Amino acid sequence: MDLTEEMVTLALGSGADVVAVTDAAPFPEAKATLRSHKKSGLSGPLRFTFDHPDEATDVRASFPWAKTLMVLGHDYLGAATAPAEQGALVGRFATSDHYRPLRAAAGAVTATLRKRHYRADVLVDDNRLADRLPAIRSGLGWQGRSTMVLVPGHGPWLLLGTVVTDAPLTPSTPSDRSCGTCTACLPACPTGAISKEGLDARRCLSTWLQTAGSMPLWIRPLVGRRIYGCDECLVACPPGFPRLREEEQESATLSFPELLAASDEELVDRFSHWYIPRRQGRYLRRNALVAAGNSREASAWEQVEAHLGHRSSLIRGHAVWALARSGAPGAVVTLDSMLQTETAPEVRDEIETALLMLEDPGRYRELLIDDEQSRTGTRSAPGRVSEPVAQGHHGLGVDLTHPRLGDS
C-alpha cells in the first residue's frame, strides 16, 4: 500500500473512526469570517482563534514546512454517559477525556511519519489551527447550521484532530453535501443562538459556561442544569439520529451537594480535562450554583445557602441568585438579613435583584429582557427568557464560533 493508505489504516486502527487528507494551504475565507464576527460582536467573549485569526486559519504560520494535513475524527458517543434525570448535566463530549483515543491515533501516525524521516506534529484542541477547517476541505464532513462538522454515519458526534506533516499524502475527495433545507438545530437551541446566518456566541450556553467573570443575568435561567457544555443542537441534528439510536447509554448522576461541597482544587482536579478559565475552580462552582438553583432540587438548598458566606464575592453573588431561583423556603428573610451586613456592591446588587425575582416577578422579567438587549442587541422570542428549559449539547467561510474545549 502507498504511504497515504498506510497512514489512514494506522489511524483507523489506533483510535480514529474517520480519516481524510487535505493540503496545508491557508483558509482566507475563514479568516475573513473570524474577523467579521469579532468586529460585529458575534464572537462574544470567545478569544483564542478570534484573537489570532492569521494563525488559526494558516497552519504554515506555525509550521512553515507543512504540506499536507491528515484530519482524524473520533466518535465519542458510545463512551459518553447520558443525561441523568437529576443533578448536574455535562455535554457528552466532556463526560470523560474523550480526546484520549484521538490523541493516541494522531500520535501513532506522527511517530510513524517521523521514523520515515518526515516532519510531523499533532494538533488536537490546539489554537494553532481551527480543526473544522481541514475537516471540511478534506471532505471528512460538511459544516452544519449549528457550525458543527457533520460526518456521514456519525453526524455531529465527533471530536477532531489533525496531523500536520511535510509527507506527500494524497488529498481526499471534497464533499458537496450540506444541510439543505434542514433547520432542526435552530429551534432546539435554548437561547436562540443559532440562525441561518450562523451562531451568535453571545447567546451560546457552552460559551458562557467556559467564560470567566459573572454570568449574565438573562442567560442564567436558560442554563438549566448544565455546568459544562450543551448538547441540544447535536441531539436535534438528523444526521446524528442513527448513532443516538445505536447507543444505549447509561446515565450517571452528578449531585449538586457533592459538587458544591468539594473544594476548588478538588473540582479542578476532578474535571482536569475541561477548559476551566484560569484553572480556577470557582468558575465551576459558579456554574454549579446557577444549575442547582435552576434544578430546584431540595437536596441542594443547604449547600447553596452555605455559599452565601463564601469568601469570593463572585460566588456569594451567584449563591444569592441560586437561592432565590431554587424555591428554598425562607429565601426572602435570608436575603433581607444578608442585605443588612453585605458590603460588596456587586453582591448587594445581586441580593436586590434576587429579591425582585421573588417579590416582583414581572419587573424581574423586564430586567432580564433589558440585560439580554444590552448584551446581544436583540431580544429572545416571547417566553424564552426566564423560562426553565427541557434537558436532553464548524470554503470556506466556515463559522468557528461554536465552542468545544478551549474556546472561550
- Catalytic positions are 125
The Cα angle at residue 275 between residues 320 and 164, in degrees rounded to 5: 165
Residue 349 makes CB contacts below 8 A (sequence gap 6+) with 317
Cell numbers that stand for 112 in this block: 510513524
Cell numbers that stand for 269 in this block: 482536579
- In what helix (H) or strand (E) does residue 164 lie, and over which residues does it extend? strand 158-165
- Collapsed DSSP state (helix, strand, coil) of residue 321: helix
- In what helix (H) or strand (E) does residue 37 lie, and over which residues does it extend? helix 28-40
Cell numbers that stand for 320 in this block: 444569592
Residue 226 makes CB contacts below 8 A (sequence gap 6+) with 88, 89, 90, 91, 205, 209, 287, 291, 391
Please identify which residue in the block is written with the cell numbers 433547520: 183
Q: Computed over its alpha carbons, how large is the radius of gyration of the chain?
A: 22
* Diameter over CA atoms, the chain: 77
If phi > 0 it is left, if psi is from -120 to 50 it is alpha, else beta; for residue 85 that is: alpha
C-alpha to C-alpha distance for 25 and 41, rounded to whole angstroms: 28
